[in-house]
Amino acid sequence: MAGEKVISGNMRFTFGDKTIYHSTSCSLSLSREFNERATKDTNGTERAKGTKNWSATVEGLAVYNSDGVSTMDFFALFDAYDDDTDAPIDVEFSPDEADAGFKLTGAGFIENLEKTMPNDEDATISFSVLGNGSMTKVVIP
């Protein structure tokens, strides 16, 4: 690993052009389905690449006082979840490092939204996004 830069855990998740206010963690899961083929002319089962899928999970503090312009709070997430249109929301994963040189973009829908309010502790939120189409890597000049 000498000379290689390790990406920090400070990835930002942007949902609808707004970052998630006070997020504490985010994860991205990419997967691909495979089509299996077994015929009289193959030696065992062969596989062909199929559909790509992705999902994301974000956790953070439940706040209500984001600026509403560049950040998203719990109620803005609820509004996005409650929207009954079929239009997906643009999402973006980007590292905090200025020299990272890339970001991942896609579109998706809020699949799950949860708010936890323990007694005498900070309330937290978690939500998951189910991708609509594939993620794309965008190089940042």
Task: Give residue-wise pLDDT tens across range 116-127.
Answer: 988 998 888 899
Q: How many domains does the chain have?
A: 1
What's the pLDDT score for residue 9?
Answer: 54
Is this model's pTM higher than 0.85 or not? no
Residue 90 — very low, low, confident or very high, per pLDDT cuts 50/70/90?
Answer: confident
* Structure tokens given for 53: 């899928």
Query: Is 1 among the domain residues?
Result: no
Query: Is 2 among the domain residues?
Result: no
> 17: closest CA among 85, 92, 86, 74?
92
What's the pLDDT score for residue 39?
Answer: 80
Please give the residue range of the domain that contains residue 61.
11-139
pLDDT at position 38 over 90: no
Tell me the Cα Rg of the chain: 19
Query: Is 6 among the domain residues?
Result: no
Q: Which residues pair with 106 in a beta bridge?
A: 91
Query: Is 78 among the domain residues?
Result: yes
Query: Is 4 among the domain residues?
Result: no
Please report, for the domain that includes residue 94, its CATH number: 2.40.30
Report the pLDDT averaged over residues 83-102.
Answer: 78
